[in-house]
């Protein structure tokens, strides 16, 4: 594939060739980085206590060596300034013709360096006339020649200019987005910190991190359509996991009392600002506990994570200040619906509930059971109104084929979801460990499947065999990491918390 180069690219290619032909390495091997940009002010302040900064005898004593991209430059004849951006921030560099080897400033720096190039600088730290802390370069080396122009961001105190606004380019060329937008790098740094905080919390609570198959012969653990693939050597159909739930519970049967996995799940469904076909889910299973215990556990975990990320158990999301401080509200699904719609559906028959749904302008068709209807009403009238973290508890049994029946009502299960900023971020239940009940639930799922519900679960005989060996009472929890990351980083699209979101293939004309 060949492509017409733009004039700026042609010039950069020519510079690369010139450098090679004149004994300069356009792609260096290493640079001894002693400091990062944001460390330099403190270093300088420590070296020059009040009043000693102006003393000429004291000058040139703070030596640093840094590396990064040259992002803006101001050339003034025989001297120049540029801003060097590294992972942590930026620092201004001052270079003078007479400090560099003969000819380097005019022939190499001025003619062959371009914005975006990665350079190494070493020298001493000083303060310019206008007060900006800068590095007076004693050595300057080109470490990586860029062959394409990088969008340059210029900024004043109040405003920044340029940058990449095109969402498509930012997602497709995330490297460019990250390279020029420190705030985007910060979002993904926060995501990483979120996951490591979660891991610390789980580890500290005696949970064992495990790995289970992503390629599964039988998929299960959620209601979703899978991706299908094929193993050649075994000539076998495999599914990309939609959940790791059934494997983790096998490990509980095996005698590990607390296990968790941070897993990529794959669901063959539509894309939206809340859905990416592959997404990250943390699931944890704790033996000898129930969903009430799990509510306390997840509440502590979320509070811990928020505090680790923001220094306090609060976060601003859009126009809302969300607090994880107080005990989270706990409301049953029926109470929540009654509060928002005025209809108490508890104990009502399927047809009575369908009548209410119609009054509430929800499309009802004959295949919808009472559980489905209740879920629809909840989705339409309640979920988006729950901004502060709220536990919704006690779901209809037909929505939850892997959850244990409620101890006080066999039509319900002991399940909760944590809703925050109008979206579900956790789902948990007391795990069903009666193999006979589980078999019946699978069978009713199988009937749904043959009735055309392609999201219904498959019968999993091996999982039933495991339950027949005895699984202790267990509480299980799933946390949507991407959704949680959206809240913790104040992003309103899942694509802004996934480094490389799925897009249609790029077409080149």
Partner RNA sequence: GAUCCCGUAGCUCAGCCGGUAGAGCAACUGCCUUUUAAGCAGUGGGUCACAGGUUCGAAUCCUGUCGGGAUCACCA
Give the relative orientation of helices 481-489 and 182-204 as an angle to the nearest 10 degrees.
Answer: 120
Q: How far is the CB of 380 from RNA (least distance, A)?
A: 7
Applying CB under 7 A, the span of 31-39, 76-84, 294-302, 466-474 interacting with RNA comes to: 76-84
Applying CB under 7 A, the span of 23-31, 74-82, 231-239, 247-255 interacting with RNA comes to: 74-82
Q: How far is the CB of 255 from RNA (least distance, A)?
A: 29
**Of 73 and 332, CB closest to RNA:** 73
Dihedral through CA 316, CA 317, CA 321, CA 326, nearest 10? -90
Which parts of 6-65 interact with RNA (CB under 7 A)? 6-8, 11
Residues binding RNA: number (CB under 7 A): 80
- Interface with RNA (CB under 7 A), residue from 228, 272, 321, 349: 272
- Interface with RNA (CB under 7 A), residue from 86, 141, 269, 314: 269
Q: How far is the CB of 264 from RNA (least distance, A)?
A: 10
Cα–Cα distances in Å, from 448 out to 201, 353, 436? 39, 21, 19
Which parts of 276-305 interact with RNA (CB under 7 A)? 276-277, 279
Applying CB under 7 A, the span of 157-165, 304-312, 319-327, 343-351 interacting with RNA comes to: 157-165
Task: Give 54-113 as a 3 state SS string.
Answer: CCHHHCCCCEEEEEEEEEEEEEECCEEEEEEECCCCEEEEEEEHHHCCCCHHHHHHHHHC
Locate all alpha helices (DSSP H) within 126-237, ordered by sequence.
167-172, 174-180, 182-204
The reply on whether position 132 binds RNA by CB under 7 A is yes
Strands 329-332 and 390-396: parallel
- Interface with RNA (CB under 7 A), residue from 312, 379, 465, 469: 379
- Interface with RNA (CB under 7 A), residue from 140, 403, 494, 497: 494
Applying CB under 7 A, the span of 16-24, 159-167, 184-192, 443-451 interacting with RNA comes to: 159-167
Kindly give, in sequence order, each residue whose CB lies less than 8 Å from that of residue 157, ignoring residues fewer than 6 positions away.
Answer: none
Phi/psi for 43 (5° steps) reads: -60, -45
The reply on whether position 453 binds RNA by CB under 7 A is no
Kind and range of the H or E element at 463? helix 461-468
Which parts of 337-366 interact with RNA (CB under 7 A)? none
Strand partners, 239: 216, 228
Q: How far is the CB of 3 from RNA (least distance, A)?
A: 11
Which parts of 78-107 interact with RNA (CB under 7 A)? 78-79, 81, 92, 94, 96-98
Q: How far is the CB of 30 from RNA (least distance, A)?
A: 26
d(CA 100, CA 82) in angstroms, rounded, equals 15
Strand partners, 322: 315
- Interface with RNA (CB under 7 A), residue from 45, 87, 168, 440: 168
Locate all alpha helices (DSSP H) within 205-316, ordered by sequence.
245-253, 291-310
Applying CB under 7 A, the span of 33-41, 147-155, 202-210, 456-464 interacting with RNA comes to: 147-155
- Interface with RNA (CB under 7 A), residue from 20, 169, 215, 436: 169
What region does 306 belong to: left with phi over 0, alpha with psi -120 to 50, or beta? alpha
Q: How far is the CB of 155 from RNA (least distance, A)?
A: 6
- Interface with RNA (CB under 7 A), residue from 424, 439, 459, 490: 424
Three-state DSSP at 409 gives strand
Q: 46-74 burial, b for 16+ CB within 10 Å, e for fewer? A: eebeeeeeeeeeeeeebebbbbbbbbbbe
Q: How far is the CB of 294 from RNA (least distance, A)?
A: 16
Strand partners, 453: none
Residue with tokens 């619906």: 337
- Interface with RNA (CB under 7 A), residue from 23, 51, 131, 452: 131
Q: How far is the CB of 300 from RNA (least distance, A)?
A: 21
Q: How far is the CB of 156 from RNA (least distance, A)?
A: 5
Q: How far is the CB of 110 from RNA (least distance, A)?
A: 8
d(CA 119, CA 93) in angstroms, rounded, equals 11
Applying CB under 7 A, the span of 144-152, 319-327, 342-350, 468-476 interacting with RNA comes to: 144-152
């Amino acid at each position: 594939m060949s492509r017409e180069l733009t004039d700026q690219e042609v010039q950069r290619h020519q510079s690369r060739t010139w450098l090679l032909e004149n004994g300069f390495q356009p792609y260096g091997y290493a640079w001894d980085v002693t400091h990062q940009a944001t460390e330099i002010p403190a270093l300088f302040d420590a070296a020059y206590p009040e009043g000693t900064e102006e003393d000429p005898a004291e000058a040139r004593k703070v030596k640093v060596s840094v590396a990064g991209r040259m992002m803006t430059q101001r050339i003034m004849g025989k001297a120049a300034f540029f801003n060097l951006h590294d992972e942590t921030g930026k620092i201004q560099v001052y270079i003078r013709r007479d400090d560099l080897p003969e000819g380097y400033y005019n022939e190499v720096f001025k003619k062959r360096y371009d914005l975006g190039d990665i350079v190494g600088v070493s020298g001493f730290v000083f303060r310019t006339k206008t007060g900006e802390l800068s590095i007076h370069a004693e050595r300057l080396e080109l470490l990586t020649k860029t062959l394409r122009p990088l969008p340059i961001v210029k900024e004043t105190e109040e405003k920044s200019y340029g940058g990449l606004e095109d969402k498509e380019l930012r997602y497709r060329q995330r490297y460019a987005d990250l390279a020029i937008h420190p705030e985007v790098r910060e979002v993904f740094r926060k995501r990483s910190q979120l996951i490591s905080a979660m891991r610390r919390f789980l580890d500290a609570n005696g949970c064992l991190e495990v790995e289970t198959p992503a390629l599964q012969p039988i998929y299960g653990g959620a209601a979703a359509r899978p991706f299908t693939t094929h193993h050649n050597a075994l000539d076998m159909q495999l599914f990309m996991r939609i959940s790791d739930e059934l494997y983790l519970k096998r490990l509980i049967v095996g005698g590990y009392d607390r296990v968790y996995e941070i897993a990529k799940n794959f669901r063959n469904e539509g894309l939206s600002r809340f859905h990416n076909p592959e997404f990250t889910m943390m699931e944890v299973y704790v033996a000898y506990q129930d969903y009430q215990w799990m509510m306390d556990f997840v509440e502590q975990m979320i509070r811990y994570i928020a505090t680790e990320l923001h220094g306090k158990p609060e976060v601003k999301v859009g126009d809302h200040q969300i607090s994880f401080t107080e005990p989270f509200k706990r409301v049953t699904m029926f109470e929540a619906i009654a509060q928002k719609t005025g209809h108490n559906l508890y104990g009502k028959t399927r047809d009575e509930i369908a009548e209410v749904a119609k009054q509430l302008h929800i499309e009802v068709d004959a295949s919808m059971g009472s559980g489905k209807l209740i879920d629809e009403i909840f989705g339409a009238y309640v979920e988006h109104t729950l901004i502060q973290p709220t536990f919704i508890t006690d779901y209809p049994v037909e929505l939850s084929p892997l959850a244990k029946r409620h101890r006080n009502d066999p039509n319900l299960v002991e399940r909760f979801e944590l809703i925050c900023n109008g979206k579900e971020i956790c789902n948990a239940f007391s795990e069903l460990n009666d193999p006979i009940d589980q078999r019946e639930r699978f069978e009713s799922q199988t009937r749904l499947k043959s009735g055309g519900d392609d999201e219904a679960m498959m019968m999993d005989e091996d999982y039933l065999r495991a339950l027949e060996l005895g699984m202790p009472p267990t509480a299980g929890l799933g946390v949507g990491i991407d959704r949680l990351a959206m809240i913790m980083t104040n992003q309103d699209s899942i694509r802004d918390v996934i480094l490389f979101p799925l897009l249609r293939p790029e077409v080149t004309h």
